Every structure is written in structure tokens, then in C-alpha cells.
A = this chain, B = another copy of it.
Amino acid sequence: MRQLFKGNEAVVRGAVAAGCKAYFGYPITPASEIAEVASLLLPESGSVFIPAESEIGAIQMLFGAAAAGVRAMTASSGPGISLMQEGISYMAGALLPGVIVDIQRAGPGLGNLGVEQGDYKQVVKGGGHGCYRTPVFAPNSVQEMCDLTIHAFEVADRYRSPVMVLADGALGQMMEPIEIPPPALNEPEKPWAVVGNAATRKNLITSIYLEHDKQEVHITKLEEKYAEIEKNEVLWQEIQTEDAELLIVAFGISSRIARAAVEILRAMGIRVGLLRPISLYPFPAKRLRQLAGKVYSILVLELSSGQLVEDVRLYVGGITPVELLRRTGGMMPAAEDVVQVIKTMEKECVGNHA
């Protein structure tokens, strides 16, 4: 049975279906509704909702809950995610699972409440200190806000890693009918957790290895884990790429605009396709490279100053030209804007290949 939900509520519905036992958070627009709904739904199922005194408190509580083997999450928007970077690094170092949802707003600084994707680098490439990565999933529908939250919990537990869901204010606010999956009990045993009994007293949750060689061994294990993740956890969607001569790359809310543009362009007879990375880390780099080998040109559509495009250029490795169409500050491109750019690119390609 399908029900109509806002994206922010769908995140919490997904968390409940995933068996999330604790939510910690501090309010910030446009993510606050996640906390609001969590405060209502989690206690109903015997789970815990704690309003933290700050984002730093929230991420430390997530560390603590995760160390106790509890499925737990937090959510925020850009400025709050920045404040959590230290804690996320500690969770990665201490091999702790947990889900962190970023409902992006426009930045830098206070910025505004508009739709942007300016946290891409922070969440996907950089963030906290030291050598670690966090899997990142980017929904583009209310259904995926739910489904990828569930998936995030599973990936977090599978790899003992913090996992991020990267969305934005538009996805958080939009309403779509969705199917909530039935609660599943696929949470693995966590013999490593410290649950306050004698049996687990010997377990040690730490990110400190004072001896350099032991820290290097620890990091090497992290590297091996990330290699596994890059092998197994890549997710993406393709639209009309089979015969495409031009390729658009976009994720999240902007991929919906790109898809509309693809439909318009196809109706004009222009052979354009869309690659939508669903996992931003691990990035669908291999598939992108394959597609890049088949098309004349690639257009990256993003709501930031050229962040995703850098990764696309990195993975394309120079074999195909990569163009950028971007808006920022909460401004949204129309499908027609994308159509215009693609049409220009098509002429250039035709010219080049004539």
C-alpha cells in the first residue's frame, strides 16, 4: 500500500523499517523535519530519540550508540555536517557503523535554505582528518529517501563504517507516494560491541594506535575494506545510454532535471543518455569510463561550483571532453537550459567529427 510522504519523513520511515534504535540530532533547516518525525515515530517502537545540545553532541552520541552495537542515526544540513567531521573521522577510525543524513542547503557559511549540492566535496572527497572514506548514497526520489536510508544501515553494519545519505532541501520537502518496506531483521550480530555486560568488557572500541606500525596495519585494513566497498557497493542508474552519443552525468535532485531534458532531446532525435551515480562513494567510475568511450562528449549537471565535475574528469581520464552546467545559491536550472547546452555540444561534436 502506497502512502504519501515528504522526503524527510521517508528517511525516518526507512530508518524505522531498518530497525534504527536511536536518533540523535540538533535542528537545522531544511533537515529539521527528520528530527521532528523521529521524535514521534521512534519512541512508538521503543526506540530512543535524543535532542542533542549541538551537532558535536549528536555525532558523539552516535559514536556511543554505535559502540554499544545499536543501529543509530543523525541528520543535519551543511553547517551541522561540518561540525560533525571530527566525530565522523573518529567513527571511521574506530570501525563504527552509523547513518548520517545530509539535507543540503546553499552555502558556504550561513548561505540560505535553497537547494544546492555544495556539500559534495565535503561528504564525498574530504571532510574530517586522516585516511578514511564513507560510503555515500544520493537518492533522487522520496521512495529512495526511504530505500537508501535502509540500505545505508545495511552497508554501515556490513562494513562497520559510518555511511552518509546525501540529499537536499527539495528532496526533503517534496511529497510522493511511496511503499514502505516491511521491517526486516537483517541486522548482523555485533560481537565486537560493548554492551555493558561482563562478556563484552574486553572489547575495545578505539581509534588510537600509538605505535606507528600498528596504526599502519590498521589503515591498511581500512584500505582493504574500502577496496571491497569499491568492488561491491557501486550503484547507479542509466537512462537511454545504449545508443547515446552524448552523456549527461547528474545525481540527486539535478538528475531529475537531466532526465526531463533527455526526454525532450530524444523527442528531437538527439541521442543523449543519462548516468546517475546513486553511490557517490564508491563512484561508478568503471561504468562511467566505459560510457565515456562511446560518446562524443559529456555534460555534468550540478548545483555547485564544479565539484562533481572534478570527479567525472578524474574517472574519464581525458578520453572524452567533459563540460559543466551549474547553478548555485538555491537557483535551479530548467530542463530547457540543459537542452540548450546539449544542443550546442551536439553541433560541436558533429563539427568535430565531420
Name A residues whose Cβ lies closer than 8 Å to a Cβ of B: 48, 50, 52-53, 56-57, 77-83, 85-86, 89-94, 104, 106-114, 116, 118-119, 121-132, 206-220, 222-223, 304-307, 310, 313-314, 317-319, 327-331
Contact = CB atoms under 8 A, between A and B. Distances in A.
Given A307-B131, A329-B213, A109 B121 contact: no
A122 B127 contact: yes
A112 B313 CA distance: 35
A112 B304 contact: no
26 contacts: A50-B50, A56-B83, A78-B129, A79-B86, A80-B86, A85-B122, A92-B108, A93-B107, A104-B129, A106-B212, A108-B129, A116-B130, A121-B125, A131-B304, A131-B305, A209-B329, A212-B330, A213-B331, A215-B331, A219-B329, A220-B328, A223-B305, A313-B317, A314-B314, A318-B318, A318-B319
Contacts of A207: 107-111
A98 B317 CA distance: 36
A78 B130 contact: yes
A286 to B, nearest CB: 14
A166 to B, nearest CB: 11
What 8 pairs across the A-B complex have the smallest Cβ distances?
A: A126-B126, A107-B130, A109-B207, A93-B109, A78-B129, A215-B329, A108-B130, A212-B330
Given A126-B127, A130-B78, A112 B331 contact: no
A219 B328 contact: yes
A205 B213 CA distance: 40
Contacts of A305: 131, 219, 222-223
Contacts of A57: 53
Contacts of A109: 89-94, 130, 206-208
